[in-house]
Structure 1
Amino acid sequence: MRRAKRKIAECLIIFFIISSLPFLIHKISGEGFITSANQGDVVDQEQTQATSSGSVICHPYWIAQSFKPTLPILTRVEVRLQKFNDISTDVTLIIRDNLTGKNLTYTSVSSSLITHTPSWIEFDFPDIEIEPGKTYYIICKTDGGDWPHRHLYKWSCSDLDPYPHGQTHCSVDGGKSWQSDKAYAKKDQCFRTYGMEKEKNNPPERPQKPTGPNSGEVGIAYTYTTSSLDPDGDRIYYLFDWGDGNESEWIGPYESGEMVSVSHTWNREGNYTVRVRAMDEHGATSEWSDSLSVSVPILQQKNVEIEKLMEELFHGMIRWWNAFLISLRDNFF
């Protein structure tokens, strides 16, 4: 009986530990490091030295750190923050490519996630495309706080110029203007940026051979149909080559696998080949499809010309016969 109770207790303990792991991993990693599940990204830029008490964040004091990414996709940012006294407003992190420009993205974290000891706080936002080697700015602000009474946040930093690709910037008027003078030239905030390479974009598959009439007449519109599949599920545009020196414009977009029908009129007799290619919404193009041969014969036009000639000949003979009868009457009667 005791052995059975011990087994039950062991199972309950194991269950509790396993069920708690996701929460523990989500909340804490290292020194109060708040993070989320692995996103498949990697650290791109970082500055982790903290040699001063930190830069003040409270309204209207904003702090920014410039950086130069090496990866084309920015996925999230971590900064080292600390709460002082009873400030309770959220902290907002903004990404810009100009200190006074538009926000490229932004997100906020609750004051409840920031402790009274320095902690790495994650700001996770929808992935954005950025230009490697270009200067960007991490801006932190809050709408509350009271500087004289020290109800504020501090962003850990170093005065030893540890990060060679950027520096600290300060605004004392809510982001309207920024100070970037010598006082901040060797100052860098504690931050990490995460990024990833762009996912490879695959072109659409070679479109199906166009289907439609393989013969026709001059001046009449005929409709041809095709489709393609995109391996990435992207929307697709189509370009038809009509074989007479004319091409359609890029038509679309259509969903992957959706049938598309386009009409064309040939203005001269001849033999033509109709083919089509596909392009996804990112600009990747497929190979040309197999060609469909279309004949616009001249036989019918020649028949019309012969009929017209025979009609003119018949009327000519009638006129000649009438003239002959009139001449015969005048000479013999």
Structure 2
Amino acid sequence: MNKEINDYSRINLLDSLPDDEIDQNNSFHDGESGNFLGPDQYLAQSFIPSKPILTRVKLLIQKYEEHKGIIEFSINNSLIGDSIVNISIHTDDLSEFNDYEFFWYEFDIPDIQVNTGEEYFIVCIAKEGNFGCATNILYEKGDGWGYDPIDDKVWLKSEDLCFITYGYGNEPPNKPIIDGPTTGKVNSNLFYTFSAIEPEGEDVYFYIDIYDGSIPWWVGPFESGEEYTLGINWGDEGTYLIGVKARDIHTAESEWATLEISIPKNKTYSSIPIILNWAIERFPLLQPYFSYLI
């Protein structure tokens, strides 16, 4: 492999989007070491993110002029598991870079939520072309892997790939606010509003539980701070609880908010005293008998 590293990629090495920053950084390269990435041959690298949102990944790769092909790139939960996200690039997408030189290529994936402290895998396979991936042996939070489906047909540990991951921290929504009456009558409609502020201005969903035996449910999305109104009719007396939590578009969840509702027993009124009073006024001589009934 050629020892020259493209200067352009060195400048781009520290570039970051306004809302993300470098997370895992295994960028050192001696200008020579690398693994071959050919047709139907896989290379992989495990890593442990420290930021809950993964936005993009850079790999130090090499292309060959005489070969046209495709690199399929994915983020996986395991070496043999389904991919969380995947994209493909063609050699035509690499035309700005010189052949036989190492250069940093950015795989700009859709933002995904990951569990910090857990292991994930960068997995690459070449289709109809030959490439090279730069390597070193310096990354301490994971391992490089290689797989040859024709000969070995098994994953084997290898040198670490030269890679950089980017991400950002995601703040969950604030604790929701429930606004509405705390007491009411049996079989009367009571209306409650739910709202939550998302610190980053993202949309939110509400998970509502009224603890009456019905199944909790999600509603949304709603803009940060937007109110959602729900009408509830309790058919029996008792003390009830409304609970709600908010979730953002990255599935980060807020604390639970609760509101206690009291539905007292309806008072019953008898029409008998009213009738007896009317009878006493009309027939005063019968008052002793009516008084006994009252």
TM-score by length of 1: 0.64
List runs of 5+ in structure 1 lacking aligned partners. 1-27, 146-151, 308-333
Q: Does 2:156 align with 1:173?
A: no
| Paired position in structure 2 for 1:15 | none
- Which of 121, 129, 138 is the equivalent residue of 2:113? 129
> Structure 1 residues 39 and 101, CA, compared in 2 at 3 Å: closer, same or farther?
farther
Distance 1:215 1:162 in 2: 69
Name whichever structure is richer in helix by fraction: 1
1:169 Cα offset (Å): 1.1
Deviation per CA, 1:118-166, whole angstroms, max 9, x where unpaired?
A: 1110001112222223222211222112xxxxxx2111112xx212222
1:295 Cα offset (Å): 5.6
| Paired position in structure 2 for 1:230 | 196
- Which of 14, 26, 41 is the equivalent residue of 1:47? 26
Matches within 5 A, 1:179-258: 179-181=155-157, 184=158, 187-209=159-181, 214-215=184-185, 221-232=187-198, 233-240=203-210, 250=216, 252-253=218-219, 255=222, 256-258=226-228
1:203 Cα offset (Å): 2.1
1:132 partner SS: coil
Identity value in percent: 20
- Which of 119, 140, 143 is the equivalent residue of 2:103? 119
> Structure 1 residues 164 and 292, CA, compared in 2 at 3 Å: closer, same or farther?
closer
1:259 partner SS: strand
Distance 2:239 2:140 in 1: 61
> Structure 1 residues 31 and 249, CA, compared in 2 at 3 Å: closer, same or farther?
closer
1:207 Cα offset (Å): 2.1
Aligned partner of 1:137: which letter? F
> Structure 1 residues 235 and 200, CA, compared in 2 at 3 Å: closer, same or farther?
closer
1:240 Cα offset (Å): 4.3
Aligned partner of 1:120: which letter? W
1:67 Cα offset (Å): 1.7
TM-score by length of 2: 0.71
| Paired position in structure 1 for 2:38 | 58
- The answer to which structure, 1 or 2, has the higher relative contact order (CA under 8 A, 6+ apart) is 2
| Paired position in structure 2 for 1:284 | 255
Distance 1:80 1:304 in 2: 93
> Structure 1 residues 304 and 180, CA, compared in 2 at 3 Å: closer, same or farther?
farther
Aligned partner of 1:144: which letter? E
Distance 1:94 1:298 in 2: 69
- Which of 132, 140, 164 is the equivalent residue of 1:154? 132
Distance 1:237 1:210 in 2: 20
> Structure 1 residues 67 and 76, CA, compared in 2 at 3 Å: closer, same or farther?
same
C-alpha contact 2:178 2:192 (8 A) present in aligned 1 = no
> Structure 1 residues 228 and 273, CA, compared in 2 at 3 Å: closer, same or farther?
same
Q: Does 2:16 align with 1:31?
A: no
Distance 2:39 2:18 in 1: 33
Aligned partner of 2:143: which letter? Q
| Paired position in structure 2 for 1:99 | 79
> Structure 1 residues 263 and 304, CA, compared in 2 at 3 Å: closer, same or farther?
farther
CA RMSD of aligned residues (A): 3.5
1:165 partner SS: coil
Distance 1:174 1:93 in 2: 20
Distance 2:74 2:207 in 1: 36
- Which of 225, 233, 245 is the equivalent residue of 1:263? 233
> Structure 1 residues 65 and 56, CA, compared in 2 at 3 Å: closer, same or farther?
same
> Structure 1 residues 195 and 260, CA, compared in 2 at 3 Å: closer, same or farther?
same
Q: Does 2:272 align with 1:296?
A: no
1:299 partner SS: coil
Distance 1:29 1:286 in 2: 52
